[in-house]
Amino acid sequence: MTSAGTPRAFKRDGRVVVVGASLAGLRAAEALRAEGFTGSLTMIGDELGEPYDRPPLSKQVLTGWVRAGGTTLPRRRGLDAEWLLGVPAGGLDLATKHVRLADGRCVPFDRVLIATGVRARPWSVESEAALDGVFVVRTREHAESLRRALAAGPSRVLIIGAGFTGCEIASACRERGLPVTVAELAAAPLTGALGAVIGDVAADLQRTHGVDLRCGVEVTRLEGDARGRFRRAHFGDGGTVDADVAVVALGSIRNTEWLRGSGLAAGVWGVACDTGCRALDVSGRATEDVFAAGDVARCPHPLYEDRLISLEHWANAVEQAEVAAHNMVSAEADRRPCLSIPVFWSIQFGVNIKSVGVPTFADEVVVTQGSVDDHRFVAAYGCRGRVTAAVSFDSAKWLHHYRRLIETAAPFPPRCPMPDQPADARPVPVGLPGPGLLAQGATAVVTGRTRVSAASGPCTGTGGRRAG
Amino acid sequence: MTTARTHGTLRRIFDYSARADPYPLYAELRQNPVAVHEDAGYVVSTYHEITDLLHDPRLSSDVRNLSRPMPALEEGVTTAFIKKDPPEHDRLRRMAMRHFGPPHTPGLVAGMEGDLTSTVNSLIDDFAGKERIDVVDDFACRLPVTVTCHLLGVPREDERRFHRWVNDIMNSVDYDPETDPKERLDKGVQARKDLRRHLGGLVEQRHGRPGDGLLARLANDDGPDGRMTDAEIAATAKLLLIAGHETIVNLIANGMLTLLRHPQVLRRLRHQPDLVVPLVEELLRYEPPVHIVPWRAAYSDITVADTVIPKGSQIMLMLASGNRDPNRFHDPDRFDPDRRDNQHLGFGSGIHSCFGAALARRETQIALTELVRRLDRPRLVADPPPYRPSPVLRGPVHLDVEQGGD
Ligand SMILES: Cc1cc2nc3c(=O)[nH]c(=O)nc-3n(C[C@H](O)[C@H](O)[C@H](O)COP(=O)(O)OP(=O)(O)OC[C@H]3O[C@@H](n4cnc5c(N)ncnc54)[C@H](O)[C@@H]3O)c2cc1C
Ligand code: HEM
């Protein structure tokens, strides 16, 4: 580090490169300027155009309430940055401190932020994925093409995978009055994220809204017609469904390929970090000048036994971006950890679903308030006798209380009488799928100060995956 | 946890002599976030503890869960949702909200802006030339009932009576048997009865005649939760009239008072009308109309700040004290309309947080903007002004202002 010898010098004229110009990248850049960073700032992103917001892409954009081009992220301040858009980063050289672009250009840095997020997991058979009428949803271009296909009034839409994204898309289709089939390998929707008990509620919600929901089935083949148009899906049990549109919603793949050979602990599970968002190297040591934030990062959380947790949550991307930016320009003593309790929300079939904590870090769940039958309730999750998460359906105002329970490691089940408590409020096994279903390519990556382990046992910390 | 001092502090807060400036006493109170008091139960005065409690599902707003019951003003009357717990509270609030705000009725408040502006201006017209006006009697007191009547769809010719009923009810709320004539209480009881009966009649007339007002909509709507009974509609309408009256009066009066005490802000507001939005938020923190949520009931034992509040206890939440908590707000005793991160407790928090907040904000914003625009060099006549007796809904009983002249 030349100009970046001291934090003050770095703040004045250091060079920061942000790779990934979306939510985490933009918010980190804004936070850097807000912290008083006056050095050079370069934003590298493979998408063209202004950074935009993704949550509406599976919701209001598909129903037509919001244009696909209308989700540009609000700018909180001028950035005075150099934008290198439309070309992906192809490599990271820590010895010479350069980011290599796919077109061969090299961009030098003193500190770099990795914010390359994730991409949609495509259908595994390439020729079938290429059929006209087969979609994924991650970018605004994806959302716009799917919206157009939905507006054309397909005879039926098939959604493969009932994670949050799949469920939200199913909901948008029903709002448009389209016939929808949802196919899910697990016993119920949202099982990978919230467990089978709440998954059953999600299943009921879908059926109430007229979704043809098929659980415990595997889609094995997508069939096209002579003109290369998707027409039919085949299931493992021999059944078929005819449809004109198939949406593949099978979760995501972390954009870490460009970090191969960089010496960082990066792989299919993301970029391992310490709580201050500093990336770890392959021997588990925190690097000084490399930070990561957002969907691509996996950070340890002290409330969850310091396990590395990857969260594909909007609020997490924002928080990590701000913490990473702060720590980039701060001396060791002033750095701060990312400790807030994860939050996530979704809207589907008119119901506002919200969670605090990490519901996949649980062995039991209990409905504490409200009525499951009315799709209006709060459920608390516990792991080995303490509260680790809560999920609300149309009852988000209560979650502050559960966040406090999580922060204070309150005993599970919470055993206090309260108004509107279901009569049979008994904890039951949470019903999370085993590693076989959840973990695509789960491998132990790094060990060291932060314990890193493969998915195992009932309390694996792979929270909040949006996989189906 | 409890000391003789906090005991004395609360007594002094309730004493009328503290009405003009209770804030130093709140600071004393905050030294014990939770204090027990023989009359008030558990008194909670710090921001984070109040917020935690307002979101605690073990708190009840239903009097029947108090181990020492409160005297009821009216027996056998349908209670409004402010005094109910889930699921009943949620169901009724949801049904009312369907016709009041997003997502089903998103444009309601925006649609009232024209009416609000002309109501405000016709009140100002009435005292335009006067040298001395009382912001409370000549202006603030006349506004909210009119606005709520328009919202409900009450016929114009009934408005006068509604003003009188609401007034009589408010006057009886802080009735003190030792100093006040019994007549004040009786008038309040009678006004409640008359108001309820009249509202019941209006609802009945609106069956089968869908119209624009809230009463007509509630009487004819079959939403996902079904329809409110006539008694429930009348109770809800009465709640809106009362919850939205003295609160707004206080906010407008506190607002003018605070502006007159901060002339540089008043000047800024005159030239920069957009300032009114953050300014009203800061008012709700700095001089909130509702100082205290007088009671909630502990539905089970609750531990707050290392104090166990036993089941059945009465809990008093000192909202205005939480708003001045230095552990939450930087430099809390400074009035700063540019303050960021201003999550005040002026509208409460949690499931009972103010139902009318959007309307209250807009109503007050328009009222203050127009007053500041149209008053000619306003000056306070007395500082502090005289206050109403209540420490709960705290505000000036008169706010005399001089304008014009040389
Ligand atoms: C359809 C959808 C709905 C969602 N709904 C919700 C919701 O309701 N609630 C919620 O909490 N969260 C939701 N999310 C998740 C939320 O949007 C993400 O958590 C958030 O976008 C993460 O931001 P990020 O910046 O880390 O990653 P991303 O937004 O994925 O951004 C990464 C950026 O890096 C770029 N990039 C990748 N590789 C390279 C490379 N090699 N070189 C240069 N650039 C590269 C990518 O193209 C992308 O622009 C949703 C996501 C989607 C897709
Ligand atoms: C500045 C003006 C106002 C202030 C400061 C204010 C403040 C408050 C506060 C603090 C509460 C919470 C009470 C509790 O927790 O027990 C509340 C509740 C309520 N307010 Fe307001 N209010 C104002 C104006 C209005 C208006 C204009 C209306 C109606 C149109 C209204 C209707 C209600 C209702 C119905 C409740 C009960 C909500 C529930 O129990 O769910 N308020 N208000």
Mapping DSSP onto H, E and C, the string for chain B reads CCCHHHHHHHHHHHCHHHCCCCHHHHHHHCCCCEEEECCCEEEECCHHHHHHHHCCCCEECCHHHCCCCCCCCCCCCCCCHHHCCCCHHHHHHHHHHCCCCCCCCCCHHHHHHHHHHHHHHHHHHHCCCCCEEEHHHHHHHHHHHHHHHHHHCCCHHHHHHHHHHHHHHHHHHCCCCCCCCHHHHHHHHHHHHHHHHHHHHHHHHHCCCCCCCHHHHHHHCCECCECCCHHHHHHHHHHHHHHCCHHHHHHHHHHHHHHHHCHHHHHHHHHCHHHHHHHHHHHHHHCCCECCEEEEEECCCEEECCEEECCCCEEEECHHHHCCCCCCCCCCCCCCCCCCCCCCCCCCCHHHCCCCHHHHHHHHHHHHHHHHHHCCCCEECCCCCCECCCCCECCECCCEEECCCC
Report if residue A8 sits inside a domain: no
CA B35/CA B31 separation, integer angstroms: 9
How many domains are there within chain A? Answer: 3
pLDDT exceeding 90 applies to what percent of chain A? Answer: 84
Q: Is A119 exposed, middle or buried (0-12, 13-18, 19+ CB in 10 A)?
A: middle
Are residue A20 and residue A169 in the same domain, yes or no? no
* Contact status of A376 with chain B (Cβ, < 8 Å): yes
Q: Can you give the pLDDT at residue A450?
A: 42
Are residue A267 and residue A189 in the same domain, yes or no? no
Q: Which residues pair with B307 in a beta bridge?
A: B304
Q: Ligand 1 centroid to A440 CA: how many Å?
A: 19
| Nearest by Cα to B133 from B394, B395, B406, B405 | B405
Tens digits of per-residue pLDDT, A67-90?
999 999 998 878 999 999 999 999
Contacts of A188 (CB under 8 A, 6+ apart): A162, A196, A199, A200, A202, A203, A215
Tens digits of per-residue pLDDT, B209-252?
888 899 999 999 888 999 999 999 999 999 999 999 999 999 99
Contact list, B86 vs chain A (CB under 8 Å):
369-370, 419-420
Ligand (nearest to CA of A85): 1
Q: Which of A215, A250, A285 is the last residue of a domain?
A: A250
Report if residue A190 sits inside a domain: yes
Are residue A72 and residue A156 in the same domain, yes or no? no
Tens digits of per-residue pLDDT, A343-373?
999 999 999 999 999 998 999 999 999 999 9
Helix (H, G, I), strand (E, B) or coil at A372: coil
Q: Which atom, in ligand 1's list, is nearest to the CA of A294?
A: 26
How many other CB atoms sit within 10 Å of the CB of residue A345? 16
Tens digits of per-residue pLDDT, A160-174?
999 999 999 999 999
Contact call for A371 and B87, based on CB within 8 A: yes
Contact list, A368 vs chain B (CB under 8 Å):
57
Report if residue A10 sits inside a domain: no
CA A196/CA B168 separation, integer angstroms: 57
Are residue A90 and residue A205 in the same domain, yes or no? no
Record the tokens describing residue A408, joined without a space. 């204070």
Report if residue A55 sits inside a domain: yes
Query: What letter represents residue B260's amino acid?
Result: L
* Contact status of B343 with chain A (Cβ, < 8 Å): no
Ranges of chain B with pLDDT below 50: 1
Q: Tell me, what DSSP letter sits at residue A356?
A: E
Are residue A205 and residue A135 in the same domain, yes or no? yes
Contact call for A401 and B56, based on CB within 8 A: yes
CA B352/CA B342 separation, integer angstroms: 19
Confidence class for position A446, pLDDT limits 50, 70, 90: very low
Report if residue A286 sits inside a domain: yes
Are residue A59 and residue A147 in the same domain, yes or no? no
Report if residue A462 sits inside a domain: no
For residue A19, pLDDT over 60 is answered with yes
**Nearest CA of chain B to the CA of A398: how many Å?**
6
Phi, psi of B226 (to 5 degrees): 85, -155
Residues A411-436, mean pLDDT to the nearest whole number: 86
User: Which domains, ranges and CATH numbers included, belong to chain B?
Assistant: 4-402 (1.10.630.10)
Q: Can you give the pLDDT at residue A434?
A: 67
Residues A93-113, mean pLDDT to the nearest whole number: 97
Record the tokens describing residue B2, joined without a space. 């409890």
Residues A435-462, mean pLDDT to the nearest whole number: 34
What CATH number is associated with residue A361? 3.30.390.30
Confidence class for position A468, pLDDT limits 50, 70, 90: very low
Structural domain range at position A104: 15-119+253-334
Are residue A314 and residue A379 in the same domain, yes or no? no
Ligand (nearest to CA of B144): 2
Chain A / chain B CB contacts < 8 angstroms: 49
**Interface predicted TM-score (ipTM) of this complex, two decimals:** 0.91
Residues A132-140, mean pLDDT to the nearest whole number: 98
Confidence class for position A448, pLDDT limits 50, 70, 90: very low
Please name the residue that has the structure tokens 């089940």: A413
Q: Determine the residue of chain B that is closest to A399 in CA distance.
A: B55
Residues A319-348, mean pLDDT to the nearest whole number: 95
CA A98/CA A77 separation, integer angstroms: 27
What CATH number is associated with residue A144? 3.50.50.60
Q: Determine the residue of chain B that is closest to A370 in CA distance.
A: B87
Record the tokens describing residue A304, joined without a space. 């969850």
For chain B, how long is the longest CA-to-CA vector? Answer: 63
Pocket mutation for ligand 1, best pick of A50, A295, A338, A465 (most atoms within 8 Å of C-beta): A295
Q: Which of A217, A250, A283 is the last residue of a domain?
A: A250
Q: Determine the residue of chain B that is closest to A400 in CA distance.
A: B55
Contact call for B58 and A417, based on CB within 8 A: yes
For residue A456, pLDDT over 80 is answered with no
Q: Can you give the pLDDT at residue B222?
A: 86
Report if residue A9 sits inside a domain: no
Are residue A130 and residue A230 in the same domain, yes or no? yes
Are residue A268 and residue A299 in the same domain, yes or no? yes
**Nearest CA of chain A to the CA of B113: how many Å?**
25
Share the mean pLDDT of chain A.
Answer: 91
Are residue A308 and residue A209 in the same domain, yes or no? no
Model-level pTM? 0.92
CA A33/CA A336 separation, integer angstroms: 17
Are residue A244 and residue A258 in the same domain, yes or no? no
Report if residue A155 sits inside a domain: yes
Q: Which residues pair with B112 in a beta bridge?
A: none
Are residue A287 and residue A352 in the same domain, yes or no? no
Torsion of CA B93, B96, B102, B104, to 10 degrees: 130
Q: At what angle do helices B263-271 and B246-261 cross, to 10 degrees?
A: 110
How many other CB atoms sit within 10 Å of the CB of residue A178? 20
Ligand 1 pocket check for A57: Cβ under 6 Å: yes
Q: Can you give the pLDDT at residue B250?
A: 98
Q: Which of A273, A304, A334 is the last residue of a domain?
A: A334
